[in-house]
Structure 1
Amino acid sequence: MKKRTVIALLSTHALVLAIGFGTGIYTLPILTAPDAPSREQVQSIDSVQRFTGQFSRNLKDSDALHWGEGKVTLGDEFIALNGKLSPGPDFKVYLAKEFVETEADFNRLKSTMVQVADIKTFNNFLVPIPKEVDIATYNTIIIWCESFGQFITAAQYQSI
């Protein structure tokens, strides 16, 4: 085989492998996600809400692959999202005392934040708030991809 043919074959196979790997990373969380809470379950938090906020796709570090949209409700025991998140692995919910919409700001302030829960679903979510976390001492909820250090979305739910 000619050297040029070998290089072309190796290049095309490497490209297909990279595309397959990237597709797998993106779709695996979708395939392994548990059933999302129903709209009724999420809306049940509305009756005991303390705060609400809005996730938006239009934040500085949100993009076509990393975004969230919908109404987020914080109660005494649960945080609920009536909306959608882009699929991805290892999403975490953080609470912060300052609104954050970039990875740089998140990393700068991470030591002052509290990690609340893992997110396993991408259409709606309902996560428990640990008893030791007082949501009133924070004003922003952030969704962060821990594995890739990627900002997903944030919502300010009160002014402090």
Structure 2
Amino acid sequence: MFSHPWIKRLLLLASHGGVGFIGFALGIYMLPILTAPSSPSDVAMMQVLKQTQYVADVQRDLQDSDLLHWGEGTLRVGADVIAFDGELAPGPDYILYLSPEFVETEADFNRLKSTMTAVGSIKTFDRFILPLDSSVNLEDFNTAIVWCESFGQFITAAQFRNK
């Protein structure tokens, strides 16, 4: 059936290239999971509960969320800390931003990015606690957004107060 040597070489090249691509893609997906630090403890999360001013649901079904880019859980915002308890799709270089408007698309994120404040890097995918700089006025913002800086990808967002 595949008697010509160039057909065999082409099939070998395609099959090996496909396997290599799949391995590379899995490596990009798995690396953040394998290198993630430990999530905050129950005790640390309980401390945040005492400081909570706002609570918001993080939903999986936002407009630009998809199979590989999503979040689901509870976001708690206090005067000097933001915490998340739930699940985020694993990925590299996640940054938490505060926005003055609710955002659920990459286009809206890019349009409003100059009005946002970056809170910090997210290194874990089931819980995180990030300190909030004292210069940040929560009254200027109503939404927290998880954004993948490396790939310019919207992950999820939660509106923690009405403006």
Give the TM-score normalised by structure 1. 0.97
Identity of aligned residues (%): 51
| Distance (whole Å) between structure 1 residues aligned to residue 33 and residue 108 of structure 2 | 28
Matched, 1:71 2:74: yes
- In the alignment, what sits opposite 1:32? 35
Report the 3-state secondary structure (helix = DSSP H, G, I; strand = E; otherwise coil) of the residue aligned with 1:59.
coil
- In the alignment, what sits opposite 2:110? 107
Unaligned runs of at least 5 residues, structure 2? none
Deviations 1:100-132 (A, max 9, x none): 001111111111111110000001101111121
| Distance (whole Å) between structure 2 residues aligned to residue 11 and residue 52 of structure 1 | 50
- In the alignment, what sits opposite 2:123? 120
Report the 3-state secondary structure (helix = DSSP H, G, I; strand = E; otherwise coil) of the residue aligned with 2:129.
strand
Say how many residue pairs are matched: 160
Q: Tell me how large the CA RMSD over aligned residues is.
A: 1.0
Q: Which has the larger radius of gyration?
A: 2
Q: How does 1:45-84 map to 2 (within 5 A)?
A: 45-84=48-87
- In the alignment, what sits opposite 1:91? 94
| Distance (whole Å) between structure 1 residues aligned to residue 41 and residue 85 of structure 2 | 9
Unaligned runs of at least 5 residues, structure 1? none
Give the TM-score normalised by structure 2. 0.95
Please report how far the alpha carbon of residue 137 of structure 1 lies from its aligned counterpart in structure 2 after TM superposition: 1.2
Equivalent residue in structure 2 for 1:130, among 114, 130, 133: 133
